[in-house]
Structure 1
Amino acid sequence: MSALLHQQWTCYKLQLKVLSTSAFEGFLAVLFPLMFATAALLVYRVRNDPDAMQYAGLGAAVMGMWTAQGVIASSLLTRERWAGTLELLVAAPVGLGRILVPTTMAMSTIGLYCVVATLAWERWVFDLRLEVASWPLFVAAVLMTALTLALVGYFLAVTAVRYRYSWALGAALEYPGWILCGFLIPVATLPVWVQPLSWAIPTTWGMAAVRSAADGGSPWADLAMCAATGAAYAVLAAWLGRRLADSARRHATLALT
């Protein structure tokens, strides 16, 4: 256990350093959320409704975590393939998940920065004073959302072991995810056949928990669903990673660029 924790912590620190000093990830994870939050708040401000601005402000803040995770996570192993190091990762004595999970956790840490930066942006630029009834529960909900998003990122990342163009999956899911997770549009207003897709994403429950904590409600049920769906993604990713790695070995596709 000590060796496992040491390996996870070392990998997390190194990946966080790489992400925080990368111009591409910095632009994508820091400036993009501010741009999208600005667009969303400009639209909602037309109504001159404080409740609508509160709803949009919270959604825009958490939306940055989705952007910081999805697009980058789906391209993690693709970049390793381009660098010629994917074979080494798959052949390493530790499982692929022990490499990917601390990496996606580092991305979620960048996502937490996006939340803080977006909240500050909303306060300074739009003079939006978000009302939060319970800050401890609010912080707990944000942290749970970040944790489960790292597990979703793990799931997205493992697909690149077998498929060369799976990096496009994250980009394709970014904007639909904004709708499905209820960042700016209530899930209850979506078509009935779409709502089960929203419930299958842990971020939907995390966003609901964030809003419940801010409004003074109880976020515990939403947090439990967020944790359960996140754990399901982790189990599925671990199984899928083994299957895809074996398939890549059989078809000799690890080195394809």
Structure 2
Amino acid sequence: MRLFLTGLRVQFEVMRRQPDHLLTLCTLPFTAVILLSVVLHSARPDLVVNAFLAPALMGLWGFATGSAVEVVTGDNWSGTLEPGMAAPGALHPVYLGRIAAVMGLGVIPLGETWLLGGVLFGVTPTIHHPWVFWAAMAASVFAMTGTSLLMAAALLLSRNGGIYQNFLSFPIYVLSGVMVPVSYLPEPLRPFSHLVFLSWAADLMRDSASPGPVSAVGWRLLAVVVLGVVGLVAGRLLLAAVLRRARELGTVRYA
């Protein structure tokens, strides 16, 4: 826990000194305006909730594939990963703390979207089941933290990690149904959506805006958490394997 908290403090200090880590917060409002404009001018009030949630969840994923992943890959390319490997403490709780600090800021896009909707369009959705909404959001942040650790460890193995970072965005947006529900996807793609925790979270958050009861809340939240734990454990094991390989070869970077 001490190393985890150290990672939190370090990352908050890094982001304070290098605000470019927060560029996602500057680009996200444009996505929100586009989606809200399309939905409202198409006279589709039934999709307003989708238009609010999509930018928020896309922003969360953007933090994961951007700043969170670069916590590890950035240390690799700057040459600070090797000294960390020589430290007496384990590296993975420090990186997990740093990634958690980034993902904690991933909640901000939700507030941005709600603010823009109210100020520019005069519309904000009503959340009839707020505890379901916030439980799904909290589970998403947890799952995203573990998934980010897994992605960061995997990208350490590649010469061209940046290409894969960019590729990971739109397939996940489609499979998770953040804007278009999974039920509208082609039949062959639907089973794959169950492997993406954002699909469970997005459905729960949409259902929380409906006045009727939300079905199977516990099981659906459990699905998000379990997928997050799978990512966390896999990320921990893969990072350990990558660092062990680095010690055997004497370097963590490709020449």
TM-score (normalised: structure 2): 0.90
| Aligned positions of 1:113-128 closer than 5 A | 113-128=108-123
Q: Distance in 2 between matches of 1:166 and 1:119?
A: 33
2:19 is aligned, of 3, 16, 23, to 23
CA contact (8 A) 1:206 1:223 kept: yes
Instruction: Give the letter for the 2:234 counterpart.
Output: L
Structure 1 segments unaligned to the other structure (5+ residues): none
**158-167 or 148-157, larger mean C-alpha shift:** 158-167
Match of 1:206 among 201, 221, 234: 201
Mapped partners of 1:157, 1:191: distance in 2: 30
Inter-partner Cα distance in structure 2 for 1:141 and 1:205 = 9
Aligned residue in 2 for 1:244: 242
Do structure 1's residue 108 and structure 2's residue 103 form an aligned pair?
Answer: yes
Shift of 1:182: 0.9
Paired residue secondary structure (1:214): coil
User: Counterpart of 1:194 in 2: which secondary structure?
Assistant: helix
Task: Write the letter of the residue equivalent to 2:11.
Answer: Q
Residues of 1 paired with 2:2 and 2:91: CA distance? 16
> Could you tell me how far 1:84 is from its partner in structure 2?
1.2
Partner in structure 2 of residue 61 of structure 1: 56
For 2:114 and 2:90, the matched residues in 1 are separated by 37
For 1:138, the equivalent position in structure 2 comes to: 133
Q: Deviations over 1:115-139 (max 9, x none)?
A: 1122111221122221100222211
Pairing 1:231–2:229 present: yes
Following superposition, the deviation at residue 72 of structure 1 comes to 2.3
Which shifted more, 82-91 or 161-170?
161-170
Which of 2, 5, 9 is residue 5 of structure 2 equivalent to?
Answer: 9
Corresponding position of 1:222: 220
Q: What is the CA–CA distance in structure 1 between the aligned matches of 2:61 and 2:81, rounded to whole Å?
A: 25
Contact 2:49–2:209 at 8 Å: present in 1 too? no
| Other structure's SS at 1:58 match | helix
> Cα distance, 1:21 vs. partner?
4.4
Distance 1:159 1:165 in 2: 11
Residues 80 and 195 (structure 1), Cα distance of their counterparts in 2 relative to 1, 3 Å cut: same
Q: Which amino acid aligns with 2:252?
A: L
CA offsets, 1:85-144, max 9 Å, x none?
A: 111223333333212211111111110112112211122112222110022221121111
Higher mean C-alpha displacement, 7-16 vs 213-222: 213-222
C-alpha spacing 1:17/1:195, structure 2 compared with 1 (3 Å)? farther
Deviation at 1:256, TM superposition (A): 4.0
Q: Which residue of structure 2 aligns with residue 49 of structure 1?
A: 44
Contact map agreement 1:69 1:108 (CA 8 A) in 2:
yes
> Structure 1, residues 186-235: CA drift from partner, whole Å, max 9, x if none?
11222233223321121221212212222241432221100011111111
Structure 1 length-normalised TM:
0.89
Per the alignment, do residues 100 and 195 of structure 1 end up closer, same or farther by CA in structure 2, a change over 3 Å counting? farther
Between 187-196 and 145-154, the greater mean CA deviation after superposition: 187-196
CA–CA distance in structure 2, aligned partners of residues 102 and 167 of structure 1: 22
CA contact (8 A) 1:65 1:112 kept: yes
Q: Which residue of 148, 170, 176 corresponds with 1:153?
A: 148
Percent identity among equivalent residues? 22
